[in-house]
Structure 1
Amino acid sequence: MTPEDAAALRRAIPEVVGILVRRGADFASAEDAVQTALVRTVERSGAPPRDVRAWLVTAAWRAFIDQVRSDSARAAREERVAREPDAGAVPQHDDTLGMYFLCAHPVLTSASAIALTLRAVAGLTTRQIAEAFLTPEATMAQRISRAKQRLAGIPLDRPGDLSRVLGVLYLLFNEGYSGEIDLAAEALRVTRQLTALVDEPEAHGLLALMLLHHARRPARVVSGRLVPLAAQDRRRWDVAAIAEGVQILQAALARDRLGPYQVQAAIAALHADAASAADTDWVQIVEWYDELLAFSDSPVVRLGRAIAVGEADGPQAGLVALGAVDESVPRHRAALAYMHERAGDLETSAADYAEAARRATSVLEQEHLLREAERLRRRS
């Protein structure tokens, strides 16, 4: 099976799960049946089916019937199955959007929603999801199973909360990369699929934000070392992804229904548009941060604004702005170190970098901050 055929199968998964649910399968059984059908498809030899969607519906329905027949309540459930329409008749109703809403349902934790989205929408196996999150497969299987149990009885066609779906996808994107699965790429793929289902500027704003951040990834880690934005080789950035992200963002902004993802994408676009760090339009970035504060007056947003103020108005202004931000916010001490260095206080900056390294949550970030601290110690 070619990568294109495999991709077509995965795109069909949420819709096929929805079809099985409409035929009478509960969500957990439907999702399991589709996964079973996918395994059989991978093991299958010969040319791929011409109509991938119809073939997967048939295979999944047969897998569901097999599950029903092996159930302890076989007689009653087989009677219900017998009344269902023939598996070969594939309805045209698309439940894909309903699957997004169901997998991001408020009854689920964020971790469970992400895992279930990867299973039921992205089509990853439990093993792949477990490896991506560095979690034992049995543990991940239990998490997914509990999530499906919590969704029992919730109708697939019930209107959902799009903002929660977008939040789950953004969290998924920020997981990055681990093992054989590129979670950021998966988040991009399913977000792109979502934008084809909903006519909402914020969904397109999130897609633009992901594209613009993803475009910088080749320059973010070089030779095993974290490279901060200002020091990145911009020739490594994905120009095509930036152009697409900017185009999608401009179309979303033209709808005049501004939201936080569009604002964050606008900030990312200003970084992408600058030929160098020195050419960045920091004044406009501060203005966009002010817009973002109107949507979410959070310490993280205030930290980003304080850094932008320091770049636009000088390090002393930046230090004043940082002074109003809670020191427990991640990367606050690193931002403080950067502003002290720009202000010429190298000794204080070195100490701040060392403390920031102690608080860092990733090895790459910690190593980078320690190098910065050592560099400034040598200079001072």
Structure 2
Amino acid sequence: MTAPESIRTAVAAAYEQEWSQVVATLIGLTGDWDLAEDCAQDAFAAALTTWARDGIPDRPGAWLTTTARHRATDRLRRDTVGAAKLRQLALTTQDPSEIAAEEIPDERLRLIFTCCHPALPFPARVALTLRTLAGLSTAEIAKMFLSTEPAMAQRLVRAKRKIQNAGIPYRVPPAELLPQRLSAVLAVLYLIFNQGYDEEDVGRALASEGIRLARMLARLMAEEPEARGLLSLMLLLEARRASRFNDGMLVTLENQDRSQWDRSMIDEGLMTLDEALDMRRPGPYQLQAAIAACHVTSSSSADTDWPQIAALYSELARVAPSPVVDLNRAVAIAMTDGISAGLALVDELAASGKLADYHLLPATRADLLRREGRLTEAAPYYEEALAIAPTEAERRYLKARLSEI
């Protein structure tokens, strides 16, 4: 019998809010990732029928965790292998429904840091985070990353096997390792968001998952300003989504219809940034969020505080040096001190070879040349960028620029 709509809605909401906690608790108790995921799925399936019959429990998360724990106990009881029996003993030591509220964040933090452990290949960290923390199916993850389901399944299997075989600890790293490990976690979440940010429709779900995971991390690590900085950056960028594409073509920031920007998301992003900056430990994500804030609080491109953006990029280049940061700084310098000053910095970057095959290098040079009226010189750089642009939306934009000049 199909569950009523109200029950399906309640289970869906519980899935979004509680999945990671249920899985994290079971992994902590059993050490078995596959068992934890299977039993969590069973618990949510059971909720559809049980809640329809008995009503939605006062604490859905505790109900789901307890149900999943019982399923795991039954599975392990049928397994006569000694190691499984030891895991069963661990399961019986504490009822998850009785776990104190202050202990809950540690379970999810352990899961986050384990999924994003530097010993795992970066693609595996991303896939494992989406599967275990966001609860996405293997098929959904494969679709988002333009991979096949069998290939993605193998990636997940290898990641879990490496965690077991390499003895990667299921824990929050000690204080001396936390900054390095937190950077790895933030990088994974930002990549998940960016993968979706650059796609018009199919990317919306992935960007949303990145934001949801960043919210979780910011709540669980309330004293870490960079966690808030990353969340702020995601919100301020995602707020512009509705204006970033037009019939499948990328729309540059200066040409976007700012009335389409999500003001509530901008307000939340700015408030989150203020909270991070109040901790007086500015880091790369806070600086990037501050740059995004300059854009979203300007009424037009001409009204943008480009000197402030150039100063922020200079600071970002100091704390997190990168040729991509240098390229963005060159654009800000061009808008502040003149096109020639920006072009000189772009030429230096091109001569260094650090951004070879990066499509935004020739695209930026072409755009600055176009702004100076040097259209004949700009054309071959647009063509170079077009040949290596990674998305169809960007290729359409570059083709349009070429046709104009």
Q: Tell me the TM-score normalized by structure 1.
A: 0.92
Residue type of the alignment partner of 2:372: A
Relative to 1, partners in 2 of residues 1:332 and 1:185: Cα closer, same or farther, differing over 3 Å? same
CA deviation digits over 1:210-268, x for unaligned, max 9?
Answer: 00000011000122221111110111111111111111112211221010000000100
Contact 1:128-1:180 at 8 Å conserved across structures = no
For 2:394, which of 365, 372, 375 is the aligned residue?
365
Instruction: Supply the AA of the counterpart residue of 2:299.
Output: A
Moved more, 190-199 or 159-168: 159-168
Change (3 A) 1:45 1:22: closer
1:115 corresponding residue in structure 2: 127
Tell me the amino acid that sits aligned with residue 32 of structure 2: D
Aligned to 1:7: 13
Aligned to 1:130: 142
Say whether residues 1:182 and 2:205 are aligned partners. Answer: yes
Of 156, 179, 192 in structure 1, the residue corresponding to residue 170 of structure 2 is: 156
Say which is worse superposed, 172-181 or 334-343, in terms of deviation. 172-181
Letter in 2 for 1:296: A
Is 1:232 the equivalent of 2:256? yes
> Judging changes above 3 Å, is the alpha-carbon distance between structure 1 residues 4 and 351 closer, same or farther for their aligned structure 2 residues?
farther
Identity of aligned pairs, percent?
40
SS of 2:30's partner is coil
Q: Please, what TM-score do these two structures have when normalized by structure 2?
A: 0.86
Equivalent residue for 1:19, pick from 20, 25, 29: 25
User: For residues 289 and 320 of structure 1, what CA distance do their matches in structure 2 show?
Assistant: 17
Q: How far does residue 208 in structure 1 lie from its aligned partner after superposition?
A: 0.5
* Cα distance in structure 2, aligned partners of 1:352 and 1:40: 59
What is aligned with 1:77? 84
Name the residue aligned to 1:276.
300
How far is the alpha carbon of 1:66 from its aligned partner? 4.3
Evaluate the alpha carbon distance shift between residue 291 and residue 75 of structure 1 in structure 2; reply closer, same or farther with a 3 A threshold.
closer
Cα 1:333–1:181 shift into 2, 3 Å: closer
- Once the two structures are TM-superposed, the CA of residue 9 in structure 1 deviates from its matched residue by 2.7
1:218 paired with 2:225, answer no
Partner SS state of residue 15, structure 2: helix
Matching residue's letter, 2:192: L
1:337 aligns with 2:369: no
Matched-pair contact (CA < 8 Å) for 1:131–1:179: no
| Counterpart-to-counterpart distance in 2, 1:39 and 1:354 | 53
Question: Greater CA deviation, 350-359 or 179-188?
Answer: 179-188
2:341 equivalent to 1:312 = no
Relative to structure 1, the CA distance from residue 134 to residue 45 in structure 2 (aligned partners, 3 Å threshold; closer, same or farther) is: farther
Which shifted more, 176-185 or 91-100? 176-185
Residues 79 and 230 of structure 1: CA distance in aligned 2, closer, same or farther (over 3 Å) = closer
SS, match of residue 299 in structure 2:
coil
Q: Taking structure 1 as reference, are residues 142 and 67 closer, same or farther at Cα in structure 2, changes over 3 Å only?
A: farther
Contact 1:128–1:181 (CA<8 Å) still a contact in 2? Answer: no
In structure 2, the residue matched to 1:59 is 67
- Stretches of structure 2 that go unaligned for 5 or more consecutive residues are 1-6
**CA distance 1:233–1:104, change in 2 (3 Å):** same
Q: Which residue matches 2:38?
A: 32
Shift of 1:272: 0.5
Deviates more, 1:172-181 or 1:341-350: 172-181
Equivalent residues of 1:57, 1:90 under 8 A apart: no
**CA distance in structure 2 between the partners assigned to 1:173 and 1:2 by the alignment:** 28
1:346 to 2:371 alignment? no
Return the letter of the residue paired with 1:14.
S
Shift in Å, 1:89: 4.5
Give the CA deviation at 1:77: 2.6
Change (3 A) 1:283 1:101: same
Conserved 8 A contact 2:142-2:152 = yes
When residues 280 and 334 of structure 1 are mapped into structure 2, their CA distance, relative to the original with a 3 A threshold, is same
Give the number of equivalent residue pairs. Answer: 375
In the TM superposition, residue 79 of structure 1 has moved relative to its aligned partner by: 6.4
Structure 2 CA distance for aligned equivalents of residues 217 and 243 of structure 1: 15
Compute the displacement of 1:348 (Å): 1.2
Q: Which moved more, 1:92-101 or 1:268-277?
A: 92-101
- With 239-248 and 129-138 compared, the bigger mean Cα shift is at 129-138
Q: How many angstroms apart in 1 are the aligned matches of 2:269 and 2:386?
A: 33
Flag the 1:133–1:12 CA change in 2: closer, same or farther, 3 A: same
Larger deviation, residues 348-357 vs 283-292: 348-357
**Structure 1: where are the runs of 5+ without partners?**
none
Shift of 1:61: 1.7
Deviations 1:101-153 (A, max 9, x none): 11101111121111111111112122221222222222211111111111124
8 Å CA contact retained: 2:109, 2:172: no
